[in-house]
Amino acid sequence: MDFQDNEPEAVVTQRSIDGTLGILKTCLRSNTVKKVVYTSSITAVFFNKIKNVEIMDESYWSDVDYIRSEVKSNLSSYAITKTLTEKAVLEFSAQHGLDLVSIIPPMVLGPFICPKMHVPVHTALSPILGSRKNNNLLLNLAMVHMDDLARAFIFLLEHPEAKGRYNCSSDTVTAPKIVEILSTNHPEFPIVDTLEGIEGVKLPGLSSKKLLDLGFRFKYGVEDIYDGIIKSCKEKGFL
């Protein structure tokens, strides 16, 4: 995905839709694929005109026209692409009788194997790194442990009654709570930014009630997520 908007939004979006539908057409032609789990994003949910909502379920969609006119963020093109691609995927699967569910993760965190500190980790650790880039997201941060997300993929793939969209968010935490967890559980890393005075829109959380009602259970909480982040950062020499 092009987070820097180096290409026109329409080009990126059409490429995403064409590529994803191409995969689904191949699944249909194979006659062996029984079910597909598509990965969407929280950005396909919360960018809209609706105000004063603390938590959003699967009925909420991002408004593409609203994003284009009102949202000034490097996530704008990404959000439009994810929104329109998910809608195209759900429409295609309904038209062709393809058993498909869409999973909607928030910020995915925890231990990681990539060689660089990627943006979500950098944002999550801003109280000890001192960076304020994207830390407005910490006003109200929906998150999920990467292992729980992987388990949810398998769960939805195997569950015969799974249909439609599923939010997959274990927790929503505020900036003060993040500072408290880091200072209490990892005191070896001093807090250099208490995150006071952060400006920006407080984003809603994601309701995972539909997923939980189907029988899924999260194994990891916020403290587990941060323990995994810190452990990986230590191992890679980032901290």
* Residues 195-227 pLDDT 10s: 787 777 788 999 999 999 999 999 999 999 999
Least confident range from 39-43, 84-88, 176-180, 197-201: namely 197-201
My answer on whether 123 and 77 are in the same domain is: no
Q: Is the pLDDT of residue 58 over 90?
A: yes
Q: What percent of the chain has pLDDT over 90?
A: 76
My answer on whether 98 and 113 are in the same domain is: no
What ranges make up the beta strands (E) of 136-176? 141-145, 164-167, 171-173
- Classified as helix, coil or strand, 40 is coil
Per-residue pLDDT, 111: 96
Q: Is the pLDDT of residue 72 over 80?
A: no
Q: Is the pLDDT of residue 91 over 60?
A: yes
- Nearest of 101, 184, 106 to residue 148 by alpha carbon: 106
My answer on whether 75 and 110 are in the same domain is: no
- Classified as helix, coil or strand, 157 is helix
Q: Is the pLDDT of residue 9 over 90?
A: no
Q: Which residues contact residue 216 at a Cβ distance below 8 angstroms, ignoring those fewer than 6 apart?
A: 151, 152, 155, 208
Mean of pLDDT values over 142-158: 98
Pairing of strands 141-145, 107-109: parallel
Q: pLDDT-based confidence at 4, cuts 50/70/90?
A: low
Mean of pLDDT values over 11-24: 95
Tally the domains of the chain.
2
Per-residue pLDDT, 195: 79
My answer on whether 111 and 97 are in the same domain is: no
pLDDT tens digit string along 152-165? 999 999 999 999 99
My answer on whether 42 and 120 are in the same domain is: no
My answer on whether 47 and 13 are in the same domain is: yes
Per-residue pLDDT, 188: 95
Task: Look up 87 and say whether it is catalytic.
Answer: no
Q: Which of 104, 133, 154 is the last residue of a domain?
A: 104
My answer on whether 39 and 92 are in the same domain is: yes
My answer on whether 95 and 115 are in the same domain is: no
Full-model pTM: 0.92
Mean of pLDDT values over 112-139: 87
Q: CATH number, domain at 92? A: 3.40.50.720
My answer on whether 89 and 126 are in the same domain is: no
Q: Within a domain: residue 160? A: no
Q: Identify how many contiguous H helices and E strands the chain contains and give both numbers.
A: 9, 8
In this structure, how many other beta carbons lie within 10 angstroms of the beta carbon of residue 234? 13
Q: Which of 25, 49, 72, 82 is catalytic?
A: 82
Q: How far is CA 44 from the centre of its chain?
A: 9
Domain housing 21? 1-104
Per-residue pLDDT, 70: 85
My answer on whether 35 and 46 are in the same domain is: yes
Q: Within a domain: residue 86? A: yes
Mean of pLDDT values over 65-69: 91
Q: Dihedral of CA 175/181/183/187: which sign? A: negative
My answer on whether 69 and 130 are in the same domain is: no
